[in-house]
Structure formats: C-alpha cells, structure tokens
Amino acid sequence: MQAQEGSGRLNRRTVLGAALELVDEHGLDALSMRRLGQALGRDPMAVYRHAANRKELLAGVAELVLDEVEIFTDDAHWQIQLRRMAHEMRRVCLRHPNVVPLLVTGPLSTPLGLRPAGTLRPLEQILGILIRAGFAPGDALHVYRAFYGFLYGHILNELQELIVDPEENEALLQLGLQRLPLREFPHLRRLAPELLEYDGEHELDQGITILLAGLGQQLETTSEAYT
C-alpha cells in the first residue's frame, strides 16, 4: 500500500510490483492504469512506457508471480521432485489467490510458441525432470499434461472452497446447504461436516499419490523408466 512517491526512475519491475500489490490487496478489477499510476505517484500514462497495454500488464503480473515459484534442482527421485514442485506452486498460488485466474486462463488460446518465456519455464522444468529420469520425450509430455492439469485443477478447487473467514464458515455452510432442496441435493447436504474439514495440502498430496500410482501402472509395461 505504500505509495512510491515520484522519486527516482520507474522500471518495469517496480511497475509490476506495484500492480501485483494492488491485485493482492484489492482484486483484479482494482488494477486499472489510472489507479496504478496513482499508486506510483505518476501520470497514468507513465505506465505505458513499461507495458504496452492493460493485457500486457496483467501478463507481466502473472509472470512476476510465477517467478516466485522456487525451483529445486537436486537429484531427488523424479516423483519427489514433482511432488515438491506441486506444493511449492500451491503455496505461491495461495499467496496470490487473486492472480490465479490470470495464471490459468491468461494465455488462453495464445499459441504455445508465442507465450512469454516465464509461462513456459515450468513446462520446460518438468520435462527436464522426467527426461532425466528416463522418460521418452513424448511420454514426458503426456505426464506433464496429466500432472499440470491436475495441479491447476486442484488449486482452483481449493480456492473455490477456501473461505476467507473461517469463523463464519460453519454458519454459512449450514445455512447455504439448507437452502438447497433436499430432494435434489441429498448427498451434498449430508456432507457438511466433511466439507468443513477440507485440508488442501493433504488433498493435493493424496491426489498426486493417486496420479503417480496410476502413471506407474500405465507405464510399467511400456517403459523401463518408471521405478
């Protein structure tokens, strides 16, 4: 929230940083060129020297967040590396929930080849992990897709179930579920207690275990890489 008074020259990094701060604190809608200019203590038009337009600015914010994803490079088993990466990704997304829509739908229908490098880094990294583990490049791509798809799906699921104020959660949930017609939603209404105990980290970890187990079963006949 601290306004960067109009001192010193602006660079892309500080512009994107201020933009991210705005999004984190007030949501995506709050990120307008004008408000960003104000937060920077500059003329709104000053932003245009560091981002071609609003879309490009949003893409920049997404890249900034992706850069927060720490990359572990050691020789741990590939399954452990994937698992660690998933948890790291999840943590970063929970730190910036308002940016997640940008991450998952930002480059929608932008040809893969034209996407900014920052967006492609996770893909390259996972491919590396898998190929070094002995997967054929084509298989690595399939595994990447299954893994990454699941990861993004989980994060979206978790954010949808995430409640800002857990104090109110129980009341809201009960109230909300009761509103649903019992005839149409018998199962959902009975699951209130389980829904309250949602543990995203554990759920993700279990999901990855399931996915890896399934992968193993599928690959052990066609490849000797899987161990």
Partner DNA sequence: ACCTGAACACCGTTCAAGT
Contacts with DNA by CB under 7 A lie at 31-35, 42-46, 48-49, 53-55
| Total residues at interface with its own copies (CB under 8 A) | 75
CA 194 to chain centre: 25
Residue 134 binds to its own copies (criterion: CB under 8 A): no
Contacts of 180 (CB under 8 A, 6+ apart): 188, 189
- Residue (31 or 59) nearer to DNA, CB: 31
Contacts of 45 (CB under 8 A, 6+ apart): 37
Task: By CB under 8 A, name the one of 3, 76, 80, 180 that touches its own copies.
Answer: 180
Phi-psi region of 134 (alpha: psi -120 to 50; beta: other; left: phi over 0): left
Angle 180-181-187 from CA coordinates, rounded to 5°: 80
48 binds, options DNA, its own copies, none, Cβ within 5 to 8 A by partner type: DNA
211 binds, options DNA, its own copies, none, Cβ within 5 to 8 A by partner type: its own copies
149 binds, options its own copies, DNA, none, Cβ within 5 to 8 A by partner type: its own copies
Residue 138 binds to its own copies (criterion: CB under 8 A): yes
175 binds, options DNA, its own copies, none, Cβ within 5 to 8 A by partner type: its own copies
Part of the chain binding its own copies (CB under 8 A), chosen from 4-12, 58-66, 72-80, 171-179: 171-179
Residue 182 binds to its own copies (criterion: CB under 8 A): no
Cα distance between residue 78 and residue 211, in whole Å: 14
Cα distance between residue 82 and residue 70, in whole Å: 13
Angle 212-218-223 from CA coordinates, rounded to 5°: 100
Residue 225 binds to its own copies (criterion: CB under 8 A): no
Site string for its own copies, 91-130 (x = CB under 8 A): ------x--xx--xx-xxxxxxxxx-x--xx-xx--xx--
Residue located via tokens 């490079």: 73
Cα distance between residue 141 and residue 135, in whole Å: 9
